A and B are shown apart, each in its own frame.
Chain A
Amino acid sequence: MTTPLHLDVRRRAGGGETETELLLDVPSDLKYVGPAVELIVGRLPSGPLSPRRIRFNFRTALAEALANAIAYGNHHDPARVVHVLVQVGHDVVRLHVTDEGDGFDPDGIPDPTLPDRLELEDGRGLFVLRRLVDHVAFNAKGNSVCLTLLAG
């Protein structure tokens, strides 16, 4: 079976240490979230993150960010892709997920653990993301997120 997912792995030397970069463009179809996550995890260099943090925190965070980008950023538009860049340094992993949409205000998302929201099906993605990684930063437009996982 052919796949539109083609991972590009690059090694960059800078600041006295070598950094590995993984680049992947993901079509705006939710069926690619699982395969894209497994493709990246399969090529993630062992180093800063423990197997457990990769298995749970990294995987879940990547799946969340990809799903948000496909559904709310690109609105499932087949003409748009989601760009994923993973930078693996000596003591940190940075995960950049960028969609081709108009962005959103991350501060405008209500707390999904409030009693009147607890039984809603959707709206937990960003809340979960913030608790899985050490730092979450959006660009000004709101269409690109950088998730930072520190070594451990």
Chain B
Amino acid sequence: MSFTLRKDKHGVVVVGVDGQLIVGNRQELKQKVLDALEGGGRKFVVDFAKTGYIDSSGLGVLVSLSKKIREQGGDLRLCGLNEDLQTLFELTKLDTLFAITKTSEEALAAF
């Protein structure tokens, strides 16, 4: 499991989640995104195309990061959720809190 951060040509920070986002590694993701926010990044996309599962702690860290980024005038969007992960966001009503697109290209184009 690991997280990769890259900036696209418009300065959008794209975060890839490889494996799982759960209680054991959420702090690592939080720190990496907060470092990028500190470094001036304001537009973030978290890509779950390579993600197996997310637990409630993983959902929680996304909620908290989204809030922090919005407070700095930025935005955090999600993409690449498979059907099961999409259902997880819907049943927790977090689909109402995040802009969610199918692909990272769509998420980037929407900024």
Q: What is the interface of chain A, defined by CB distance below 8 A to chain B?
A: 30-34, 52, 55-57, 59-60, 63-64, 67, 71, 112-113, 118-125, 127-128, 131
Contact = CB atoms under 8 A, between A and B. Distances in A.
Closest 7 pairs (CB-CB, A-B): A124-B56, A121-B60, A56-B84, A67-B23, A113-B93, A121-B64, A125-B56
A60 B93 contact: no
A91 B96 CA distance: 36
A103 B62 CA distance: 29
Contacts of B63: 118-121
Chain A interface helix/strand/loop/mixed = helix
Given A55-B53, A56-B53, 14 more contacts: A30-B23, A32-B24, A33-B22, A33-B23, A34-B20, A34-B22, A34-B24, A60-B55, A63-B55, A67-B22, A118-B93, A121-B60, A122-B56, A124-B92
**Residue in B56, B59, B60 with the greatest tally of chain A CB atoms within 10 Å:** B56
B92 A60 contact: no
23 contacts: A30-B23, A34-B25, A56-B84, A56-B85, A59-B52, A60-B53, A60-B55, A63-B20, A63-B53, A63-B55, A67-B22, A112-B92, A118-B63, A118-B93, A118-B97, A119-B67, A121-B60, A124-B56, A125-B56, A125-B57, A127-B56, A128-B92, A131-B91
